[in-house]
Amino acid sequence: MKTRILAATFGVLMGTTATAALAGTLDDVKNKGFVQCGVSQGLAGFSQPDSAGNWTGLDVDFCRSLASAIFNDPTKVKFTPLSAKERFTALQSGEIDVLSRNTTWTMSRDTKQGKFAGVMYYDGQGFMIRKSLGITSAKQLGGASVCTNTGTTTELNLADWFRTQKLDYKVVSFEKSEEVVKAYDAGRCDVLTTDASGLYAERLKLTKPDEHIVLPEIISKEPLGPMVRQGDDAWFNVVKWTYYALLTAEELGITKANADDTLAKTENPDVKRFLGKDGSFGADIGLTNAWAFQIVKNMGNYGELFEKNVGTTSPLKISRGINALWTKGGLQYAPPVR
């Protein structure tokens, strides 16, 4: 971690390489032929390498969607695993093009550290604890030792929450999620806290997952989404509209399986514009007009990605909840392609 921060700092200090990168990330990405995507060091369902070393997960699939939009090839992505602490420096220094690493959208991050392009997953912070302690509510946690990640919103929410509840606690914070889970599993702390989705994912890594429960309280808003550098509108647009394209595809009922068919047969003007038969929406953001078609054809729509990675068919078994489309009572909403 130190080397990376130092490298980033030298990048800032020396300026030359980083300045070139600022000229236009989209052009840079096209020139080098791949997207450099910052992901977590291993969070089931979001970004995790499988046994063959292939990265999988919702955050990973977002980067593959981005590569599909630009290159029509979801494999043109290189992944950089980052700890919570390293991530913003890596983004700012130009080491990565996009940060897709279950990162919470907050005002200070959005105005000082980069720009959030959308919300891939609406999450909230929760607590996990051993069943044997007989605790049923987070309000009974006074005096507990809590394991968490350093440099996260989790750490800040935790402090805020215990203060408003007027409870004592002891924090034990590690840099890597893996260390947090290991410490919790070893009994160094009573409680593990992170985003609720993360808790379900981390529980799979424990020696006896069945002996742990997630408490009902959700203590914060954690909108997780991809992030880019500030001051590069062209690249920001591409990343933002890749996210909207995933949502729009689901709303219009276009799936990975029926994309070709839909493109050939559709008469719906919305679909025609979306898939690039009408207008020059893709060309206007520096891509081809088939950009959205490429995303859906290669990756599928948002609903498909959700189900595959974190949904009820995955080991995490998380229901759509507030992550459903606005048409189904959720919060996922994309502006029209027009």
Partner 1 sequence: MTKRPDDSGADAAPSVAWYNDPTKRGYLFQALTLAAVIVVAWTIVHNTAVNLERRHIAQGFGFLSTTAGFDLAQESISFPKDASYGRALLVGLVNTVIVAVAGIFFATIFGFLVGVGRLSHNFVISRLCTGYVELLRNIPLLLQIFFWYFAVLGVLPSPRQSLQPVPGWVFINNRGLYLPEFHFGSFAGWGIVGGLIVALVVSWAIRRWARARQMETGQQFPAGRVTLGLIVGLPLVLFALSGFDLSLVAPKKSTFNLSGGIQIIPELIALVLALATYTASFIAEVVRAGILAVSHGQTEAARSLGLSHGQNLRLVVIPQAMRVIIPPLTNQYLNLTKNSSLAVAIAYPDLVSVGGIVLNQSGQAIEVIVIWMAIYLGTSVTTAMIMNVYNRRMAIVER
The binding site for partner 1 (CB under 8 A) comprises: 1-2, 5-6, 8-9, 12-15, 18-19, 22, 84-85, 88-89, 92, 108, 111-113, 133, 140-145, 150-151, 155-156, 158-160, 163, 169-175, 179, 183, 186-188, 190, 229-231
The position carrying tokens 């997960």 is 57
Token couple for 191:
């409680």
**Within a 13 Å sphere around the CA of 80, how many CA atoms are in the beta-carbon half?**
23
CB of 188 to partner 1, least distance (A): 6
Nearer to partner 1, 155 or 250 (CB): 155
Nearer to partner 1, 230 or 288 (CB): 230
Report which secondary-structure segment, H or E, holds 81: strand 77-81
**Within a 13 Å sphere around the CA of 18, how many CA atoms are in the beta-carbon half?**
17
CB of 63 to partner 1, least distance (A): 22
User: Around Cβ 263, how many Cβ atoms within 10 Å?
Assistant: 19
Q: How many angstroms from the chain centroid is the CA of residue 42?
A: 12
Nearer to partner 1, 17 or 280 (CB): 17
CB of 21 to partner 1, least distance (A): 11
Nearer to partner 1, 158 or 224 (CB): 158
Give me the helices (H) in the chain, please: 2-14, 16-22, 25-32, 58-71, 87-92, 107-108, 153-164, 177-185, 196-203, 233-251, 259-265, 269-275, 281-284, 291-299, 302-309
The pair phi, psi for residue 57, each rounded to 5°, is 130, 170
Nearer to partner 1, 72 or 230 (CB): 230
Q: Are 268 and 316 in contact (CB under 8 A)?
A: no
Q: Alpha-carbon distance 298 to 265, whole Å? A: 19
Nearer to partner 1, 188 or 221 (CB): 188
The pair phi, psi for residue 14, each rounded to 5°, is -80, -35
Bridge partners (DSSP) listed for residue 83? none
CB of 235 to partner 1, least distance (A): 14
CB of 90 to partner 1, least distance (A): 11
Nearer to partner 1, 57 or 94 (CB): 94
Nearer to partner 1, 92 or 323 (CB): 92
CB of 9 to partner 1, least distance (A): 6
Nearest in space to 176 (alpha carbons), one of 145, 150, 204, 194: 150
CB of 191 to partner 1, least distance (A): 8
CB of 229 to partner 1, least distance (A): 7
